[in-house]
Amino acid sequence: MPVFEQEWISPILEVYRKEKITNNYTVLLGLNPLGQALCRKIYEKNFFETVLLFNSPSFTSWNRYPAGVKPPVIPVHGMIRDELMMIWGDVSIKDYEWLTDTLFYIRGNIPTRFIVAFVAHSGPTSGQVFSKKGERLLERLEIPRGRSEYYDGLTAPLISVANVANLDPVIFYVEDRLDTEQVIQIDDVIVTQGEIDAAEHLMNRGFDLQLADQ
């Protein structure tokens, strides 16, 4: 059994670390419905090593695991493969007060290239970035800069903390695909297969990740 040492503790967040993290990672935050579904799809097709564990009173476990899927990820794991780190878990998140602590933990303990988040919205696909490096990424993807009229519990604190924490977030607003198969629904947010596929395509194109596609 790997040994995880406690690294961070506050009334709203605990973090346990397996080892010091020295490599640079593109960090995918799977902490909202679309991000969680994307991480689950990538996780099912690839091998990842868990190096961080996050726990919070805001997390509650699901009972949504059909036969044939890889075991549930509980609570929230930081897991790595090559140059990608995914921070996600098969949990329902009641509120996002703990996220600010998480972002400051990332700043101090995880060398990052980008912090990536995905949200589905009713407009065309666009991206919100905060650096020249982010602008070059959108140009390479041929995606316009934009922002959403709605920020969820993940993207709102990510935007507000980004400059203070000296992070480099990229938020993709993926055009909703309500005409495709519904995969999950969390509260009033529906995630469809078309949205997950579009997000995965952007990850593979934008960050040159060597991930299995079957």
* 179-213 pLDDT, tens digit each: 888 888 887 888 999 999 999 999 999 887 766 65
Residue 44 lies in a domain: yes
Q: Rounded to 5 degrees, what are φ and ψ at 59?
A: -95, 135
Q: CA of 185: how far to CAs of 4, 27, 178, 205, in Å?
A: 33, 24, 12, 27
Q: Give pLDDT tens digits for 68-101.
A: 678 788 899 999 999 999 999 988 888 889 999 9
CATH of the domain at 201: 3.40.50.10900
CA distance linking residue 82 with residue 96, whole number of Å? 28
Give the span between the Cα atoms of 95 and 131, in whole angstroms.
28
Mean pLDDT, rounded, for 141-166: 85
What is the structure's pLDDT at 214?
A: 47
pLDDT for 47 beyond 60: yes
Confidence of residue 1 (pLDDT cuts 50, 70, 90): very low
How many structural domains is the chain composed of? 1
Q: Does residue 155 sit within a domain?
A: yes
Question: What share of the chain has pLDDT > 70, as a percent?
Answer: 93
Measured CA to CA, the distance from residue 200 to residue 161 in angstroms comes to 25
User: Which residues constitute the domain of residue 57?
Assistant: 5-207
Does the residue 29 lie in any domain? yes
Residue 213 maps to a domain: no
- Please check whether residue 214 lies inside any domain of the structure: no
Token pair belonging to 76: 């929230």
Q: Look at residue 159 and tell me if it is in a domain.
A: yes
Q: Which residues pair with 172 in a beta bridge?
A: 118, 127
What residues form DSSP beta bridges with 185? 190
* 191 belongs to a structural domain: yes
Confidence of residue 102 (pLDDT cuts 50, 70, 90): very high
Is 145 domain-assigned? yes
